[in-house]
Amino acid sequence: MILQQLHMLNFKTYFDCKAVFSEHINLITGHNGAGKTNLLDAIYCLSMTKSAFANSDSNLISHGKNFFSLRADFLKNDKSNVLQYDIVDGKKNISHNKISYSKITDHIGEYPVVLITPYDTDLIRDGSEERRKFFDAIIAQTDKNYLQELIMYNKVLKQRNVLLKWIAEGNSIDNDLIDTYNHELIKKSKIISAVRSKFIEQYIPFFKSCYRHICASTEIPDIQYSSQALELNFATRFKNQTQKDIATQRTSMGIHRDDFVFNLNDKPIKQFGSQGQQKTFVLSLKLAQYEYIKHHKHLKPLLLLDDIFDKLDDERVLNLLSLIAQNTFGQVFITDARPNHNATLVNKLSGNIRIFEVTKGNIKPV
Amino acid sequence: MTYPSRLIEEAVNEISKLPGIGKKSALRLVLHLLKEDADVTHLLCRSLTDLRTNIRYCVICHNISDGEVCNICSGTHRDHSLVCVVEDIRDVMAIENTQQYNGLYHILGGAISPVQRIGPSDLNIESLCTRIQNHNEIKEIILALSTTMEGDTTAFYITKKIKEAFPHILISSIARGVPLGGELEYADEITLGRSIVTRAPYNV
C-alpha cells in the first residue's frame, strides 16, 4: 500500500499544501513547530478516521477557519484509490473513490497505518486501560465481530453499574435482574478473553523477533496476558462478588480489569526497565503491530515514525535503520528535527529516499 | 429566534416538543393553522383532547383499545395459546401487518435499561406472569424484542422469570437473520455472521 499524493486544506498548520511522496522512504525535516508531526497526523487521520494527538476533531481545523479537507491518492493492490476526509460545519465525511461511508467505522482497517511516537512509552507507564486499548485496536482491525462484542460488553457493564448505584440509593434489589447482567458479563468476558488470549499467542512471536532485531543482546522480553475470565471458577467467583459490588457500586470482575504485563528478564519493565529499554520495548510492540497486520491483511501498512531516535543508543538506531533499509516495511515516513543528524541517516539508508523540508505551512522536496 | 407575538412563541415551543419537529417546522405549522379556518384548529384540538382523555389500554395485553379488552384479546378466531411479547404498540402493528400471526400479544412498554431509569417494575412484566397464571390455555411465549443490548437483557430476564414459575411454558424467540429478497452481499456482516452461526435446517 502506497500513499502517492496528499493534498491538505486548512489542516492544522497547512492552509493549502500538496506533496508527492516516495514509495519507499520519506524523510521529513524541519524546525520544532514547523508541522512535521501534523503531516503524520494527516496520514493517520485518513487511516484511522481520527487524530492521534488532538482530542477533538475541531482541533484539526486551522485556526480561524471553519473546515478542513484531506485528499489522498493511495495505491492498494495495484489499483489507485482516492480517499477524502473532510469536516465541514462540524460534519465529518469520509469517502472512498467518491463514495461516502454510511458508517465511518467501516473505514477503519482498510488502509492500515502504524504510528510510532515519543509518547509510546505511556503504554508502559500508564494504567491497564491504555494497554487494553492498544491491543483491542489491533484485534479490531482484523476481527470486526470482536469490536462488536467489546462495544456490547461495555454497554452491559454500564447498565450493571447504574443498577448497582440504584440499589445503593435504597431501591429494592431484584436479584433476577442482577443475575441477568451477571450472566451477560460472564458470557461476554469468556468470549473476549478467549480472543485476547489467542491473539497474544500469535502476537508474541512477532514481538520477540522485532525486539531481537533492534537489540541483539540477551535481554528477554515477554508479555503476559492476565484475565480473571481465564481463571477456573470465574463464573462462581463473579456471582459471589455481587454483594461486594453492591457495596462498592462498581463491577469488580470481568475483562474490563484485564491487563497485559510487560516483562524484561522476568521483571516488570515498568519498575525495572531503563528509559532506553522501555523505548526499545514499545518500539518492538509497534513494529510487531506492523508485522501482525501485514500478516493478517496481506498488506503492508504505512509506517509513520515520529521523532523516535531520541533516547535510543547508536546500536539500536542502526539496527532499526537497517530494518527500514532492507525494505522489510513498505512505505515509511520519518520525521526528524536535527538537520546534521539527517545527513548521517541518509547515508545509512538506501533505496528510494525523498527528503522534504517543512516550513510554516509548506512542504518542499529538498 | 424572535417571534412577533408571545402567542406564536408559546405555540411554537409546545409543538417543537414533539419528536422529529424542530423550531422551524413548528413555526411553519403554527402559521399554517393561522392561515386556515379557525375550525381546523378547533377540530385538531378537540381530537387531541378526546384522544388523551378517552384512550384506554387493554387490561390484558396493554394494547391501545376502545373498550376494556382489545379486539385482539377478545377475538374468538385467534389462537389463545400463543402470546407474543413486544416492547411497543408499534411492534404489534408491524406484526399484525404481516398477516402471518394469529396469536395474542403482550406489550411491555419498553425495555429494561437502568441508565434510562427503566427497571423491571416500570414494565408490564409482572402482569405477564399473572396472565400466564390466570390463563391456563397459554402454552407458548414468543419473544419479539429489539436486537439491542437492552432488548437482549429484557428477553433473558423474562425467560428467567417464566422458567422459574412456569416450567411447562415453551419460550421461543423470533428468528434473526438476512432479510428476504435481499442479496447476501448487502447484508451487514454482524447479521450475516449470526445467520451462519444459527443456521436452520433446510425444508423442502
List pLDDT tens digits, range A2-58.
999 999 999 999 999 999 999 888 989 888 888 899 999 999 999 988 898 888 888
* Chain A residues near residue B163 by CB distance under 8 angstroms: none
Residues 259-278 of A with CB under 8 A from B: none
- A152 closest CB neighbour out of B115, B149, B157: B149
Distances (CA, A) of B1 to A223, A339, B24, B49: 60, 57, 9, 29
Contact B73, B104 (CB under 8 A): yes
Instruction: Please indicate, yes or no, whether the overall pTM of this predicted structure exceeds 0.90.
Output: no
Distance from CA of A165 to the nearest CA of B (A): 10
Q: What's the confidence (pLDDT) of residue A170?
A: 82
For an interface test with B, which of A151, A176, A191, A250 has the most B Cβ atoms less than 10 Å from its Cβ?
A176
Which residue in A245, A293, A343 sits closest to A27, CA to CA? A343
Listed in order, the ranges of chain B carrying CATH 1.10.8.420 are: 6-54
Can you tell me whether residue A5 is helix, strand or coil?
A: strand
Residue A156 contacts B, CB cutoff 8 Å:
yes
Q: What's the confidence (pLDDT) of residue A264?
A: 93
Contact A116, A286 (CB under 8 A): yes
Whether the pLDDT of residue A318 is over 90: the answer is: no
Give the pLDDT mean for A300-322: 81
Residues of B at the A interface, defined by Cβ within 8 angstroms = 112-115, 119-121, 149-150, 152-153, 156-157, 160-161, 189-190, 193
Which pLDDT band, with edges at 50, 70 and 90, does B78 fall under?
very high
Give the pLDDT mean for A56-71: 90
Whether the pLDDT of residue A295 is over 70: the answer is: yes
A6 backbone φψ class: left, alpha, beta (φ>0; ψ -120 to 50): beta
**Chain centroid to CA B199: how far?**
28
- Whether B156 sits inside 8 A of A177 (CB atoms) is no
Which residue in B142, B52, B22 sits closest to B91, CA to CA? B142
Residue pointed to by grid coordinates 417571534: B3
CATH for B77-201, options being 3.40.1360.10, 2.40.50.700, 3.30.1330.40, 3.40.50.1110: 3.40.1360.10
- The tens digit of pLDDT for each residue in A239-271 reads 999 989 998 999 999 999 999 999 999 999 999
Q: Name B141's bridge partners.
A: B83, B171
Give the pLDDT mean for A131-160: 90
Which pLDDT band, with edges at 50, 70 and 90, does A237 fall under?
very high
* Chain A residues near residue B115 by CB distance under 8 angstroms: 158-159, 162
Which pLDDT band, with edges at 50, 70 and 90, does A228 fall under?
very high
Non-local CB neighbours of B143 within 8 Å, separated by 6+ positions: B85, B155, B158, B159, B171, B172, B173, B174
Which pLDDT band, with edges at 50, 70 and 90, does A342 fall under?
low
- Whether A171 sits inside 8 A of B193 (CB atoms) is no
Whether the pLDDT of residue A333 is over 90: the answer is: yes
- Whether A177 sits inside 8 A of B119 (CB atoms) is yes
- Asked which of A39-53, A164-178, A290-304, B89-103 is least confident by mean pLDDT, the reply is A164-178
Q: What's the confidence (pLDDT) of residue A55?
A: 84
First to last CA, chain B: 64
- Whether B190 sits inside 8 A of A180 (CB atoms) is no
- Whether B157 sits inside 8 A of A155 (CB atoms) is no
Which amino acid is located at B194 in the chain? R
- Whether B119 sits inside 8 A of A171 (CB atoms) is yes
What is the residue-averaged pLDDT of chain B?
A: 92
Q: Name B83's bridge partners.
A: B104, B141
Q: What's the confidence (pLDDT) of residue A191?
A: 95
- Is this complex's ipTM strictly greater than 0.90? no
| Strand A25-29 versus strand A332-336 pairing type | parallel
Q: What's the confidence (pLDDT) of residue B187?
A: 82
Q: What's the confidence (pLDDT) of residue A341?
A: 67
Q: What's the confidence (pLDDT) of residue A77?
A: 86
Listed in order, the ranges of chain B carrying CATH 3.40.1360.10 are: 77-201
Residue A144 contacts B, CB cutoff 8 Å:
yes
Residue A208 contacts B, CB cutoff 8 Å:
no
- The tens digit of pLDDT for each residue in A75-116 reads 998 899 999 999 988 889 999 999 999 888 788 888 999 999
- Whether B120 sits inside 8 A of A177 (CB atoms) is yes
Which pLDDT band, with edges at 50, 70 and 90, does B111 fall under?
very high
Which pLDDT band, with edges at 50, 70 and 90, does A337 fall under?
confident
Q: What's the confidence (pLDDT) of residue B85?
A: 97
Distance from CA of B166 to the nearest CA of A (A): 15
Q: What's the confidence (pLDDT) of residue A340?
A: 64
* Chain A residues near residue B157 by CB distance under 8 angstroms: 176-177, 180
Give A173's DSSP letter.
Answer: P
Give the pLDDT mean for B74-103: 94
For an interface test with A, which of B118, B122, B123, B157 has the most A Cβ atoms less than 10 Å from its Cβ?
B157
Distances (CA, A) of A314 to A28, A116, A212, A317, A318: 20, 18, 15, 5, 6
| Strand A221-226 versus strand A259-264 pairing type | antiparallel
- Whether A183 sits inside 8 A of B156 (CB atoms) is yes
Q: Name A81's bridge partners.
A: A74
- Asked which of A118-132, A212-226, A299-313 is least confident by mean pLDDT, the reply is A299-313
Distance from CA of B192 to the nearest CA of A (A): 11
Which pLDDT band, with edges at 50, 70 and 90, does A169 fall under?
confident
CATH number for the domain whose boundaries are B6-54: 1.10.8.420
* Chain B residues near residue A176 by CB distance under 8 angstroms: 120, 157, 160-161
- Whether A155 sits inside 8 A of B149 (CB atoms) is yes
- Whether A159 sits inside 8 A of B161 (CB atoms) is no
Non-local CB neighbours of B149 within 8 Å, separated by 6+ positions: A152, A155, A156, A159
Whether the pLDDT of residue A212 is over 80: the answer is: yes
Cell representation of residue A252: 469488580
- Whether B153 sits inside 8 A of A162 (CB atoms) is no
Give the pLDDT mean for B183-189: 82
